[in-house]
Every structure is written in structure tokens, then in C-alpha cells.
Structure 1
Amino acid sequence: MSLSSQSPSFIRPAPALITAHKGGAPDILQITPTGAALGAVVSGLDVSKPLLPSQVLRLKAALNEHHILIYRDQLLSDAQLRAFATYFGAVFNPPSDVPVLASGNDGKTPDVVPVANIAGGYTGSGELTPHIDHQWTPLPSAGSLLYALEVPSRGGDTSWYNIAAAYDALDAATRARIDSLQLITYNPFLRGPGDERPLYRTPERQPLGAAYPHPLVRTHPETGRRGLFLSTHTEVELPGLPADEAQALIARLRAHVAEDRFRYEHHWRVGDIVHWDNQATLHSRTAFPDTERRVLKRVSLAGGRPF
């Protein structure tokens, strides 16, 4: 299903929503929680148009509270998507020697990345396990906005996991044990197709590329909440702990953070934008038929050093 196949009433914002952007008109922005462990739906906005200062501030506060914000029935160009995203920060640009999704030969990434299973797109049609974007870089991204242009008839759903709720749910002894630990997440883009992808780097395995340790328990820079900053399948290492002990601890924490009680699953519709806080969530994707098109556009936002 694509934007071009939708009726005009679907792809155009309702007149009542458009008036929110005219001078002197009331602000009708509404934020409705999903009822799951995280997430809220934003209504009353056509985000292709300039926002009021009060709206931007409400959205920033809502993102801190709900960790992901969902906008329905939007219609944007790449430039408009980028303009909307930059209300919330500068575009993420990784170091030229630290590859990420969509890195070119010069190490640069486009501002708008096609997350699509078509020519020129990235991530294909397979399952993506729960992960934190750019976690292996010195300054991981603060968040991303993902905009749906075409969606398959089944599959391709995205789940987000509340890592603060997962941390809070740990027993006191486990929290005390992990609070001061550092975690190295190794760059998965340094491995090629078909290469072994270990879950933990043991001493006999030579590390690939530079390592950037970050706290295993990260403090959110805006809210102060602590979260379990751990992807479920990316190669990692806990410096200073014996390998056997560390592997067992990581396996236990990974099983915990991916529990359904911390999850919201999003079933995409054309025109959806989801803005997530990469400092407060993991996300994953289900597989979908490779005979169907799934075309989304992503803008990631710059972040700071985790602490």
C-alpha cells in the first residue's frame, strides 16, 4: 500500500487540523497515550507546516514522558521531514571512520535515509532484533523519526521497548551490581554478509575496529531516569568482568529487557511518522514478504556522550 494508492481524504490533513497553523487560531494538538508500556499518539497537527513554539515544547515534553510519539496521516517531502525533525535537534552525522547504516565510501550518511527493500534502500525484508541505533559510536544518536510511504500487507511491524521501565523492574541487588559497569558495543557494520556474529566478545576473539565504552545503565540527559542501555543481539563486552560471568549477566539482562511487558508494537499505516527517543528505547522489526514493498524514510538526530 502506498501514498499514491490512497484516497485524497487519507493523505490530506483535515481542515480542522490545518487551522491550527493559521494566525490567531487555537492550538488543538492532542496527545493520547497508547496504553502500552510506552508511546503516545499525537493528533491535531499537519507537521509539513511550521509549528508554534508552544507545540514544539509540548512535543518535547511528551517525548520525554512517553519515549515515542506517533503521528498519523501525514504527507511530507524529504525536505519537510527533515525540517520537522530538526525542531528536536541537529541531524546525526557519525565519524567518517565509524560506519553506520547508509554510510558511503566517504563515511558520510544522507540526512534522509531510505529504510526500504527496494533499490537504494537499506535493511531488506528480514527480522531486525531489538537494538539501539548507533550504540557503537562515540556519540550515539538521540532519536529518530521514521516516515511510512509504502507498507506491506502483513509483517514489517516495529516494536519499541521501554528501557527505563526494564531497569526499574530489576531487583535491587541486580541494579546495584550493574550500576557502575561499562559496556562496549562492537560495530556490526564491520562484519560482512555471512560472517559470524557473536553475541559476546571473549578474550580469544580479536576486536574489530575501535571500541567506545558507554554505561550499561544510562542516565537520560533530560529526565534523569536510568535505563538498561543494551541491545539484544549486537556483540558486546563488559570490561573488567570475567568472560563467563559477564556472558551470563548479559544473557539474563537481554532476556529481561525484551519482555512483552516493556513493549509497544506499531502496525504501520501509510502516512505514519514515529519519533522515538534512542536514549530511552530499543526497537525491533518483524519480517515481511520480500515480494512486497516497504518504503520508509528516516532522519536521525545527534546525541551526546552517554553518562
Structure 2
Amino acid sequence: MTSLTQLSQAIHDAPRWHQENLFQNPDDIVITPLAGEALGAVVTGLDARKAQSGETIFRLKQALAEHLILIFKHQRLDDLQYLAFASYFGAIFRPSADNPVLATQADTGTPPDVIPVSNAVGQGDYTGHGELSPHADHQWTPTPSFGSLLYAIELPQDGGQTTWYNTIKAYEALDDQTKQHIDQLQLITYNPFVRAKSNKGSQGYGNSPLYRFKDQEILGHAYPHPLVRTHPETGRKALWLNTRTEVELVNYDDQAGSKLIAELREHILKPEFRYEHQWQEGDIVFWDNQVTLHSRRPFPAEQRRLLKRISLAGGRPF
């Protein structure tokens, strides 16, 4: 795991205000919404290696709250520079050892701060090359991450695109009767990595039951969160539901709950709520994990793909 001292080193090594050539000019930054897409904006003119002003970070945080994903183009960072840039937006997500997540280390019980998301031998091997279904990161923890940054270093020639889903728009498109019915429901999302361990090595996503019925065993911890989540900055409501991991509605008939969840999952997948990103080397995509889902297209096993992810700490959903 990247230690706290290494994170401190990243901040220590970051550019200083008095080094004028290493200070980002806020006037150089352009934020362009993606035309005709359900979410997203492209950020150009920003060099993430440079010191950033309060004006710039405030502007980027506002843009993230509005557009839900920001795409920073043409970046060239080492891990410490990447950590220093990410830390402008929040603390690093550090789950407890009893809540395993992607890349949890056997010796520490926690993941690295910078996670290689890769199929390349020796570079992580955490997600393989197959399809990943739409999900929010760390949804099964008591305080899921607020957001993540994903940095493209090496890309396959075919496939591997990432799609983001706007779950605010998905909620807003529901009819009023459905909204009224689901607004106060609580949902438990069960940990797919606990399920994978019980299945002796299967991948976390994609091999879980879709719903936990009352006669089925509970695996791992159960943290109820709102099915309809409120964004802490904008106050907008969103469906806080992935499309594949095992879930359960609290104090709700399991047969009816399974049917309702299946209907909502089908609704989230409608084309008008999503944006598919065609990666280029040097892209950093920063997304709001509270009101989006993301998925990945498969790519050939023999083609290398290496991205690095940093996740930022969040609060309890409400």
C-alpha cells in the first residue's frame, strides 16, 4: 500500500507558489461540456503536475457537481504527482480491513492509494480483460468513496471503453408514483469480494446473485443506504443502485423487492443516461461516484491495458 508517509512525500514534492514556471495559470483552463451526452465535460489547458490555485480547484469542483465526470486531456504524471493532484479534491479513500475492495492487500487489509487497474502481468491484474457491469465503487462500505480518478497509461487496440451512467437523470425520468414509492426505501448492497472469496476465486463483479431472498445466507457486513441518494452539494436525487451485485431492500417483501430492483436496473441502462468514453493515453477521468455508475467493455486478453485509479473518501449516503 502507498503509505501515509509516501502521500506526505507527494504533497511535500508538489510545486510551490514561488516557482512561477510550475504554477498553473487559471486563464489557460477551458471546460467544455460534452455536446449531446448525458454527462461529462472535457478539461483542456490544465497541467496536473503544476500547483493549482483555489480559484481553479473551486471551479473544477463546481464543474464536477454539474457534469459528474471531468476528462483531463494530455497528462503525464508519476504516482506522486498523481497523488498530489488528486489530494486537491479530498482525502484518499481508506476502507476498514473488514470491508475488502478492489486490490485489498493481504498484509494490510487495505488497498494501495494508487491502484493499477490492469491485465498486464506485474502491474495489478485486478480486473482482467472481461466486461465489467455498471456499478458504483465501494457501495457496500459504510462510507463509500465520493469519487475516483482513473489515469490511462497503456491501452488495448480493441475494446476497453468505459461507460458512465447519470443516475440523477435516471431518477428524474421516473414517473411521480414510482418516485414517491422508492424515495424512503433503504437498500443493502452486499460485498462482491466477500462473495468472490466464498466462491473460491471467482471475480467480484458478475458472479453474485442479483437479489438476496430471505432463505439465503448473508455473506459479509450489511450496511443499509438510501435507494434514492441525495447529492450533498447540489441536493439533486439519484438512484443509488448498481446493475449486477447482490442487493436487498430493507423491510420489503423479497419477491416484490426483486421485481422492483430488476425494473429499476433495466431503466438505468437506457441509452439516454450514459456516455461511453474512448480512452486516449494521458486521459484522466475524474467522476462523482455518488451519482454515477460505470462499466467497461471487454478487450482481447493478449492486448495490454494499464490505468491507475485513486479513490477519494466520502461520507455516509443520505
Q: TM-score, normalised by structure 2?
A: 0.88
Q: SS where residue 165 of structure 1 aligns?
A: helix
Partner of 1:265: 276
How many residue pairs match? The answer is: 288
- Output one character per residue of 1:7-63: Cα deviation in whole Å (capped at 9) or x when no partner: xxxxxxxxxxxx99558x562211001120000000111111111211111100000
> Contact (CA 8 Å) 2:26, 2:55: kept in 1 or not?
no
Q: Distance in 2 between matches of 1:153 and 1:26?
A: 35
Q: Distance in 1 between matches of 2:151 and 2:121?
A: 18
- Output one character per residue of 1:223-266: Cα deviation in whole Å (capped at 9) or x when no partner: 11100000000000001111111011000000011111000100
Q: How does 1:1-307 map to 2 (within 5 A)?
A: 22=23, 27-35=27-35, 36-105=37-106, 106-120=108-122, 121=124, 122-192=126-196, 193-194=201-202, 197-307=208-318
Partner of 1:4: none
Q: Distance in 2 between matches of 1:170 and 1:139?
A: 27
Partner of 2:16: none
Q: Distance in 1 between matches of 2:40 and 2:224?
A: 29
Q: 1:26 to 1:113 in 2, by over 3 A?
A: closer
Structure 1 position 277, deviation (Å): 0.2
Structure 1 position 197, deviation (Å): 1.7
> Contact (CA 8 Å) 2:116, 2:308: kept in 1 or not?
yes
Q: Distance in 2 between matches of 1:256 and 1:57?
A: 33
- Output one character per residue of 1:148-189: Cα deviation in whole Å (capped at 9) or x when no partner: 000001100000000001000000000000000000000000
Q: Distance in 2 between matches of 1:305 and 1:27?
A: 36
Which moved further from structure 2: 189-198 or 98-107? 189-198
Counterpart AA for 2:104: S
Q: 1:46 to 1:200 in 2, by over 3 A?
A: same
Identity of aligned residues (%): 59
Q: SS where residue 268 of structure 1 aligns?
A: coil
Q: Distance in 1 between matches of 2:157 and 2:66?
A: 32
Q: Distance in 1 between matches of 2:82 and 2:22?
A: 17
> Contact (CA 8 Å) 2:26, 2:53: kept in 1 or not?
no
Structure 1 position 108, deviation (Å): 1.4
Q: Distance in 2 between matches of 1:280 and 1:179?
A: 15
Q: Distance in 2 between matches of 1:303 and 1:290?
A: 34
CA RMSD of aligned residues (A): 1.4
Which moved further from structure 2: 184-193 or 65-74? 184-193
Structure 1 position 119, deviation (Å): 2.4
Q: SS where residue 28 of structure 2 aligns?
A: coil
Structure 2: unaligned runs, 5 residues or longer: 1-19
Q: Distance in 2 between matches of 1:26 and 1:185?
A: 41
Q: Distance in 2 between matches of 1:298 and 1:73?
A: 17
Partner of 1:13: none
Q: SS where residue 64 of structure 2 aligns?
A: helix
> Contact (CA 8 Å) 1:20, 1:45: kept in 2 or not?
no
- Output one character per residue of 1:187-212: Cα deviation in whole Å (capped at 9) or x when no partner: 00012334952000001111101100
> Contact (CA 8 Å) 2:23, 2:50: kept in 1 or not?
no
Counterpart AA for 1:115: V
Partner of 1:6: none
Q: 1:20 to 1:168 in 2, by over 3 A?
A: farther
> Contact (CA 8 Å) 1:21, 1:52: kept in 2 or not?
no
Partner of 2:17: none
Counterpart AA for 1:257: I
Q: Distance in 2 between matches of 1:136 and 1:26?
A: 38
Partner of 2:15: none
Q: TM-score, normalised by structure 1?
A: 0.91
